[in-house]
Structures are given as C-alpha cells and as structure tokens.
Amino acid sequence: MKVNAYLALAYSFLWLLLMLYVWSLSRRQARVKRELEELRERVARDSSSQSAAS
Amino acid sequence: MKSKFPLSVHLALTLVWFWVAFYMIFLYAPREETMGEVQRIFYIHVPSAWTALLGFIIVFIASVVHLWKQKPLADQVAHAAAEVGFIFCTGVLITGPLWAKPVWGIWWTWDARLTLTFMLWLLYIAYLMLRGYLIQPGRAANLCAVVGVIGFIDVIVDYMAIRWWRTQHPQPVILGGPNSGLDPRMLATLLVSWGAFLCLYFYLVRQRLAVAQARSELSEIRRTLELARTER
C-alpha cells in the first residue's frame, strides 16, 4: 500500500466514524420527538374522552 | 431552557474551525522530512487522543459531583461525556495503527502507551455497557460514577506513560523536556486542529445531553400520566 493511502484511510475512517455517531444521535433525537408526539396525542385523547364522560 | 449559545451557532463555528484546520494541515504545515506526507495523521491522531483524555476527565468530575450531591444533571453530563469520548478514543485506535504501519513497519505493539490507551477504550465500553445492563436508573448512575472515578487512574498513567517508561510510541513533543519541540507552524496547526476537535466534542456532548434530558422529561410525564390515571 502506498504511504499516502494510509493518510487518506486515517482521515476517511475518522470522519466515517464521526458521521456514523452523528447519524445515530439524530436517529435517537427523532425517536424521542416521535414518542413526545404520541404522548401528546394520548393526552389529547384522554382529556377529550374524560370531558365526553362528564 | 434557551441557551445563550445556540446549537446551530455552535455547529457553524465547528464547521468553520474545521475548514481552517484542514487548510492549515494540508497547505500551511510543512512536510515532515523523515516521515513525509503520512506525518499529517499527527494533526488528527493527537487531538483525538487529547479530546478522549479530556472526555474521561469530565466523566471523573461529573461522577464525583454525582456521588457527592446525587444530582441527575451531573450523571447525564458524565454519560454524555463518556459516550462522545468513546468515539474519539476509537478514532485514536484507528488513526494510530494507520500511522504506525508505514513509520514503524508494524500495526500495533503492546508498549505502555498503546496498552493503556486500549485499556481506556475498554473502560469506556465497560462504562457504557453498565448503563445498558442495569435496569434501576439510580443504581446504574451510582455504579457508573464509581467506574468513572476509578477509570481516571488510567487517564493519569496513560498521560504519564511516555514520560515514565521507554516506549515505541514517541516521547511528548509538547512539555516533554529540553529535547522536545515542534516547528512553530506545526505547533500552530496542531493547536488549531485540537481547537476544532474540542469544538466538535462539546457540540456532540450538548446534543447527547439534549437527548438525555428530553428522555428524562418524557419518563416524568409518563409517570405523572400513569399516576393521574390510577387516581381516577
């Protein structure tokens, strides 16, 4: 392997690793956002059924 | 809570800082005479290592604060710092062998510095796995804080390894004694690059912290809702 290939590989692997982590973080953020939306809907459903019952 | 330093501004600053760092790494820093172009790995390998060590220092401080005051925020900071620090420590273990092979002729050797850095990486894994396996959040936080405090010993010994023992790994180039030192342009490039890595590290820790805080708020709302439902 040519010496400059090691340089290119080192930079590429490090950025790939960082990009993968950023992707995993954004997935987790999206999941929390989705759960929050579901919770909001549940609260809205609960309060509407409660007012209908009273 | 609104921050005085929004995440979008932090991200923009990180990107600009990296742009400057890359300019300096490839166009400003001189070519090293013995190793040639491959020496430019130095400008990402060393900042990754320093950032990973800083990560465990933050884990240590936050763990001590958590054990002392039992503050959930300190535990969340320790967890975020450990997770992001683990990424940078992995970066060190990737870029190191890719630099070692063309320069030393071998990918890896079990000298004190390399072994202790590998141990630091394993400690990060142990810390993160402990979080995943323990179901009771309070117990997990306390146990992880103990690992965070004990793990700090490795940080100190790892930092001092190249000063205490003769290793295959080079001696320190900064604060390393009378025969150490760097070309001023190389030193400036290294420091600018480390600044960019630090900026990225803190950006990622803030993002990770935001996820942890949103998750804990969600659990709190869920608990309140369940309580209200059982009372009805």
> Which tens digit of pLDDT belongs to each residue from B103-158?
889 999 888 889 889 998 998 899 999 888 877 777 888 888 988 898 888 888 87
Instruction: Tally C-beta pairs within 8 A across A and B.
Output: 70
What are the φ/ψ torsions at residue B36 (nearest 5 degrees)? 75, -150
Contact flag A17-B90 (C-beta cutoff 8 Å): yes
pLDDT at B166: 74
Contact list, A21 vs chain B (CB under 8 Å): 84, 87, 204
Contact B98 A10 (CB under 8 A): yes
Whole-angstrom distance, CA of residue B183 vs CA of residue B174: 11
ipTM, 2 dp: 0.85
Identify all chain A residues contacting B36, using CB atoms and an 8 Å cutoff. Answer: 3
Are A39 and B200 an interchain contact pair (Cβ–Cβ within 8 Å)? no
The residue written with tokens 């935001």 in the block is B210
Distance CA B73, CA B55 (A): 16
Give tens-digit pLDDT for B18-31: 999 999 999 999 99
Residue of B nearest to A43 (CA): B225
B-chain CB neighbours of A13 within 8 Å are 94-95, 98
Long-range contacts made by residues A3-8, C-beta under 8 angstroms, separation at least 24?
A: A3/B36, A3/B37, A3/B38, A3/B102, A4/B37, A4/B38, A6/B38, A6/B41, A6/B98, A6/B99, A6/B101, A6/B102, A7/B37, A7/B38, A7/B40, A7/B41
Q: Test A14 with B48 for CB contact under 8 angstroms.
A: yes
Burial of B95 (C-beta count, 10 Å sphere; 0-12/13-18/19+)? buried
Q: What is the mean pLDDT of residues B36-60?
A: 94
The tens digit of pLDDT for each residue in A14-54 reads 999 999 999 999 999 999 989 988 888 888 887 777 777 76
pLDDT band at residue B3 under the 50/70/90 scheme: confident
Whether the CB-CB separation of B73 and A40 falls below 8 Å is answered with: no
**pLDDT digit string, tens, across residues B61-70:** 999 999 999 8
Scan residues 102-121 of B and list those with Cβ closer than 8 Å to A.
Answer: 102
Joined tokens for residue B67: 């054990």
H or E stretch including A1? none
Q: Is 60 exceeded by the pLDDT of residue B1?
A: no
Q: Is B36 left (phi over 0), alpha (psi -120 to 50) or beta?
A: left
Domain that holds residue A45: 1-54
Domain count, chain A: 1
Distance CA B60, CA B153 (A): 10
